[in-house]
Chains A and B, each alone.
Chain A
Amino acid sequence: MSRLIATSSQTIGPFFAVGLWRPEWSDLTRNGLDAGAPIRIEGSVIDGDGAGVPDALVEIWQADAHGRYEDHDAPVPPDRLFRGFGRCGTDADGRYAFRSILPGVVSDANGTPQAPHVNVTLFARGMLTRVVTRLYFADHAEQNAADPVLRSLPADARATLIAPRVDAGSQAVYRFDIVIQGDGETAFFDL
């Protein structure tokens, strides 16, 4: 059986904003809120010198409050306002931020419930391929302790995926720094 081979990745380069800059995509609730607790996710992308990365692109993919993903085979009900995909380029200091809702519980491939999580892709100048990771929510400690992916990681790696809650007034805020290299290096996955 002949099989094609997947096309090679190349770096996003320094000028990706020319084609990929869509600031409205950083707000997954931009069409309004339906079910779900509104949250803000914010953080910095940090390089091996501890410096913010000003030319990185963070993308997120998550389930809705009921644990449902949008999918090609199961179109989203037209009355659902929430959008599961977000994109944000970093600013001059390497910071990014998303508005979203707390995702619901999604089961893994074995049917085991996972803790609420957000799937994260990082592209940057200087990176020839993307890297992927996951964000978990620190105030869901019990679910995190039972999560099969978190449990598969060594403790120091696991800790890098758990976003502390750093509320601003009445707004629920989670902080998720993505450390590409070195001390506190984020756990990335082989997908």
Chain B
Amino acid sequence: MKIVQPAYPPMQPGTQPPLDYPGYRSSAKRHPLRAPYPLPQGQSELTGPAFADRWNGPDAVDLTHFAGGEAQGQRIIVTGRVLDEAGRPVRGTLLEVWQANACGRYRHDGDRHDAPLDPHFQGSGQMVTDDDGRYRFLTIAPGAYPWRNHHNAWRPAHIHFSLFGRAFATRLITQMYFPGDPLMPIDPVLQSIPDTAAQARLVAALDLEVSQPEYALGYTWDIVLRGSGETPMENRA
């Protein structure tokens, strides 16, 4: 089998953060010094795990109930579509999310922030996108939290997202932010992205159409994975 053309063009300049970003202190010893080597895309890069019906068990899309009780905080619904760069839905892809609780504390042994854990908030979910590439989950608005990057450093509220797409080449881990958060302009992680329009695309939109009256506020956030306008061609000759 011969795959004729590279399916994934390089990503738009300025839209991805550099590995070496002095404002993010822990990148100092964790970035390669040598430039990456070119890698022609073949089957190894153009294939990827299909989780839809085999791997990951049932969806977990209600983060507000855990261990027999209801989590504290502002309930929110987060929904959107996973698309490729040509605007086509990415169906059946696994999406994993995790976040701090309403007080800005993660359920993780390494989190030393002196804020209460919520016994009824685990802080993670998973789901597979539907035929329109859509995902949806119910959670609690995460709190901001301090970190030790610099004096008096606080991360803006965010939710972590992990996505696969169709190929090894499309793997993405990112963070979703909330509109109007005054910590965003001074957050080195978000500001590491050179293109300000690309930064803005990490911010969800408040969406009253998604909100559930008397119950939860709604936010919409679409995610775009790499993708070409063409399907890889096979030459079986």
Q: A: which residues have CB within 8 A of B?
A: 1-20, 47-49, 53, 55, 59, 61, 63, 69-72, 75-76, 83-85, 106-111, 114, 117, 119, 121, 123-132, 134, 148-149, 152-153, 157, 180-182, 185-191
Q: B: which residues have CB within 8 A of A?
A: 1-4, 6, 8, 11-12, 15-19, 21, 24, 26-45, 47-50, 54-55, 83-87, 92, 96-100, 106-108, 110-111, 122-126, 160, 162, 166, 168-169, 171-175, 189-190, 192-193, 198-199, 201-202, 223-226, 229
A48 touches B29 (CB 8 A): yes
B28 touches A48 (CB 8 A): yes
B2 touches A20 (CB 8 A): no
The 7 closest A-B pairs by CB, nearest first: A19-B98, A126-B26, A48-B29, A126-B30, A128-B17, A189-B39, A85-B49
Which B residues are in CB contact (< 8 Å) with A186? 32
What would 9 A/B residue contacts be, using CB atoms closer than 8 Å? A4-B87, A5-B224, A7-B224, A9-B173, A18-B98, A18-B122, A47-B29, A85-B48, A128-B17
B16 touches A8 (CB 8 A): yes
The distance from the CB of B236 to the nearest CB of chain A, in whole angstroms, is 11
**Interface SS majority for chain B:** loop
Which A residues are in CB contact (< 8 Å) with B33? 181-182, 185
Most buried by B among A6, A49, A181: A6
User: Which of A1, A10, A191 is B173 in contact with, Cβ under 8 Å?
Assistant: A10
A4 touches B98 (CB 8 A): no
Which A residues are in CB contact (< 8 Å) with B193? 8
